[in-house]
């Protein structure tokens, strides 16, 4: 479950939540930055696709991400800048592998003005 | 997710429970759960039976939507789920019916060594194995495939790495589909999947994956054990791993594609994670071709690990793997979709059989069974949880008639990972296991705690159900003496 004052914050917070499941983020520094752009069929699909794109970066680039800036978010696309640090096993603690973000009971809802909530399940 | 399921279960006999078609609108066939009365109470504790009913709604499903006794909640399909769709009648293929870890499976190696031969060298052996086989989160292989080699491995699977010198030429005979599922097409695999996969071939991974050294403790059927080349006190090696990040990415890619395709084809399913397309559609064909690539990747993976197991034994015992008799008994997939012919209502039909946390268990005389085993049936490898040992079963005629030749795949989780982590906090799991006579070495202590024995159902009870129901028979039980975890 993730919350945000805006839809953009919600997507950023969901990503931060996912990476806190993967590893300890306190000692992750800002040494890697990349641009991410994804699209979807609706906000739910967009959220799942966004998180899976970040999981791909984690495994393929071997990076722990901790900062997520959403630059552009519309129906239904997202562009953002993400940053973190290449994994160094001597420095970073990795908790677990998240295989994927699933579509199971995925929800993106505005629960009141200035408060969005999302729910996703991960396969670990 | 953890709500109790209160739906109807009609008892057919002591081992079979039916979810009637009337239970849910859209069910095309009835559901069936293979379980004992005692297990049913535990099975009702989550929504896994609801998932059996959901699967019964998939277009083109025939026979029954089935669940093996190790059933537990999964994404879309339950783990332990088996479903066949008629591909000539618009039957669908669903990535959720295979899961993220495509061709997660088990390979069993037999040796000519006994427990007494191995015991004095066990610690050294485990250390060498741990050093030679990459494991753990983010582990990279000892070899990295070029893109060209990776594509070859996707099509030729274990056969490709055997040709490269990682294995005995005849190893392929003792792998389901000879280690190379037909229909694989690397063009259907995304660049992302290849990027994730190229450094992970030849790695054990983490989570529930492991390598275990076991000793044959009980022989239930000596005649069949003899055909399999198994004997009392014999040392066996079990390898449990899958297609790693490569398979995860393929599943992720195609779940996304199927989401969009379902709208176009007007397919409606009760759960978004069950998204699917007819097998004959471009999306269905593409998924099958990509899934086959992941299945073959996994067989290549288990083949490479086999090679390093042999090298490790050679190093410790100072004798060749040939001399030590390290041979592949068999290799089974337990997360896969395959095209198979089965008789449904008296008619032979071409089905797409999804097995998600279920094992193929072909009976005697079937063509898919290696020739040397054909007179008795296929070896079925059932790993228990860490510390409880494994069973080797054999497929039966009844399984062919009733479950499209399928059976259980393991113990099945009873506790979530977080629950297991909570109840085991502060415990020294390696010492606990050592007291039971099992040497454990692991990359991560957290993984060990998530995999504690009490997190799983009793594998003995699971195999008892499939035996009593007649869909497989026990051949031997093997007790673990050492475990290597990611």
Selection from B225, B220, B177, B211 nearest residue B360 by Cα = B177
In CATH, the number for domain B10-485 is 3.90.1860.10
* Residue B138: predicted pLDDT: 65
Question: What digits encode the pLDDT tens for the residues B219-246?
Answer: 999 999 999 999 999 999 999 999 999 9
Residue to substitute from B140, B272, B276, interface A, most A β-carbons within 10 A: B272
Helices B282-317, B122-132: inter-axial angle, 10-degree rounding: 140
Q: B357 vs B2, which has greater pLDDT? A: B357
* Residue B142: predicted pLDDT: 78
Judge: B275–A99 Cβ closer than 8 Å, yes or no. no
* Residue B2: predicted pLDDT: 65
**B409: annotated active-site residue:** yes
| Element holding B360 (H helix, E strand) | strand B359-360
- When CB atoms are compared, the residue of A97, A101, A103 closest to B259 is A103
In chain B, residues with a C-beta closer than 8 Å to the C-beta of A52 are 252, 256
- The torsion angles phi and psi of B73, rounded to 5 degrees, stand at -65, 135
Checking if the pLDDT of B1 tops 60, the result is: no
Residue to substitute from B74, B198, B248, interface A, most A β-carbons within 10 A: B248
Question: pTM value?
Answer: 0.93
Q: Which residues contact A10 (CB under 8 A, 6 or more apart)?
A: A2, A3, A4, A108, A116, A117, A118
Checking if the pLDDT of B39 tops 80, the result is: yes
Residue B406, Cβ neighbours under 10 Å: how many? 31
Question: Residue B333: which pLDDT band, with cuts at 50, 70 and 90?
Answer: very high
Judge: B138–A87 Cβ closer than 8 Å, yes or no. yes
Per DSSP (E only), the strands in B197-326 are 210-219, 234-241, 277-278
Question: What digits encode the pLDDT tens for the residues B353-364?
Answer: 999 999 999 999
2-61 of A, contacting B, C-beta below 8 A: 41, 45, 48-49, 52, 55-56, 59-60
| In chain B, where the domains are located | 10-485
Residue-range domains of chain A with CATH: 2-123 (3.55.10.10)
Let me know: does B134 contact B202? Beta carbons within 8 Å.
yes
Let me know: does B313 contact B321? Beta carbons within 8 Å.
yes
Question: Residue B400: which pLDDT band, with cuts at 50, 70 and 90?
Answer: very high
* Residue B339: predicted pLDDT: 98
How far does the CA of residue A60 sit from the closest CA of chain B (Å)?
Answer: 5
Q: B171 vs B444, which has greater pLDDT? A: B171
Question: What digits encode the pLDDT tens for the residues B65-76?
Answer: 999 999 999 999
How far does the CA of residue B115 sit from the closest CA of chain A (Å)?
Answer: 34
Judge: A124–B417 Cβ closer than 8 Å, yes or no. yes
Judge: B446–A96 Cβ closer than 8 Å, yes or no. yes
Size of interface A-B (CB pairs under 8 A): 66
Judge: B205–A62 Cβ closer than 8 Å, yes or no. no
Question: Residue B263: which pLDDT band, with cuts at 50, 70 and 90?
Answer: confident
Question: What digits encode the pLDDT tens for the residues A48-90?
Answer: 999 999 999 998 889 999 999 999 999 999 999 999 999 988 8
**Rounded (to 5) percent helix, strand, coil in chain B:** 40, 25, 35
Q: What is the mean pLDDT of residues A89-107?
A: 89
User: Is some CB atom of chain A closer than 8 A to the CB atom of B76?
Assistant: yes
């Amino acid at each position: 479950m993730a919350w945000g004052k805006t839809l953009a914050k919600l997507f950023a917070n969901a990503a931060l939540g996912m990476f806190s499941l993967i590893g300890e983020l306190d000692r992750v520094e800002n040494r890697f930055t990349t641009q991410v752009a994804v699209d979807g069929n609706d906000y739910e699909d967009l959220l799942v696709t966004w998180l899976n794109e970040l999981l791909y970066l984690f495994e393929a680039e071997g990076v722990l991400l901790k900062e997520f800036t959403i630059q552009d978010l519309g129906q239904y696309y997202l562009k953002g800048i993400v940053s973190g640090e290449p994994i160094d096993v001597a420095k970073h603690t990795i908790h677990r592998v998240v295989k994927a973000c699933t579509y199971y009971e995925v929800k993106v809802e505005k629960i009141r003005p200035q408060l969005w909530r999302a729910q996703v399940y991960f396969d670990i | 997710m953890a709500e109790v399921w209160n739906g109807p279960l009609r008892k057919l006999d002591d081992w079979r429970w039916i979810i009637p078609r009337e239970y849910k609108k859209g069910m095309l066939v009835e559901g069936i759960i293979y379980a004992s009365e005692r297990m049913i109470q535990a099975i009702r504790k989550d929504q896994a039976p609801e998932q059996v009913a959901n699967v019964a709604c998939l277009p083109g499903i025939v026979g029954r939507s089935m669940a093996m006794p190790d059933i537990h909640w999964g994404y879309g399909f339950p783990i332990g789920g088996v479903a066949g769709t008629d591909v000539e009648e618009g039957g669908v293929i669903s990535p959720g019916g295979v899961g993220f870890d495509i061709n997660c499976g088990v390979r069993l190696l037999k040796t000519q060594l006994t427990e007494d031969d191995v015991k004095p060298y066990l610690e050294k052996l485990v250390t060498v194995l741990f050093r030679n086989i990459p494991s753990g989160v983010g582990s990279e292989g000892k070899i990295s495939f070029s893109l060209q080699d990776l594509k070859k491995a996707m099509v030729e699977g274990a056969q490709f790495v055997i040709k490269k010198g990682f294995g005995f030429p005849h190893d392929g005979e003792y792998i389901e589909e000879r280690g190379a599922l037909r229909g694989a097409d690397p063009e259907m695999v995304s660049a992302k999947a290849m990027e994730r996969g190229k450094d992970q071939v030849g790695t054990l991974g983490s989570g529930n994956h492991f390598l275990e050294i076991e000793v044959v403790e009980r022989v239930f059927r000596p005649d069949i054990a003899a055909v399999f080349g198994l004997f009392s006190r014999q040392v066996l090696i079990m390898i449990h791993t899958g297609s790693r990040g490569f398979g995860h990415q393929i599943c992720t890619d195609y779940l996304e594609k199927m989401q969009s395709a379902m709208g176009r084809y007007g397919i409606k399913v009760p759960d978004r994670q069950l998204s699917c397309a007819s097998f004959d559609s471009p999306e269905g064909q593409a998924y099958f071709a990509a899934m086959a690539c992941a299945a073959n990747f996994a067989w290549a993976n288990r083949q490479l690990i086999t090679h390093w197991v042999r090298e490790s034994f050679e190093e410790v015992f100072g004798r060749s793997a040939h001399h030590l008799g390290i041979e592949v008994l068999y290799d089974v997939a337990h997360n896969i979709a395959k095209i198979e012919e089965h008789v449904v209502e008296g008619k032979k039909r071409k089905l797409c059989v999804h097995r998600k946390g279920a094992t193929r268990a072909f009976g005697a005389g079937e063509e898919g069974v290696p020739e040397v085993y054909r007179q008795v049936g296929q070896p079925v490898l059932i790993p228990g949880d860490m510390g409880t040992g494994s069973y080797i079963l054999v497929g039966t005629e009844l399984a062919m008639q009733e479950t499209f030749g399928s059976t259980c795949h393991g113990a099945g989780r009873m506790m979530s990972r977080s629950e297991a982590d909570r109840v085991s906090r502060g415990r020294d799991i390696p010492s606990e296991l050592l007291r039971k006579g099992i040497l454990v070495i692991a990359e991560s202590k957290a993984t060990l705690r998530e995999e504690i024995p009490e997190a799983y159902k009793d594998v003995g009870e699971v195999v008892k159900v499939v035996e009593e129901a007649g869909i497989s028979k026990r051949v031997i039980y093997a007790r673990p003496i050492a475990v290597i975890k990611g």
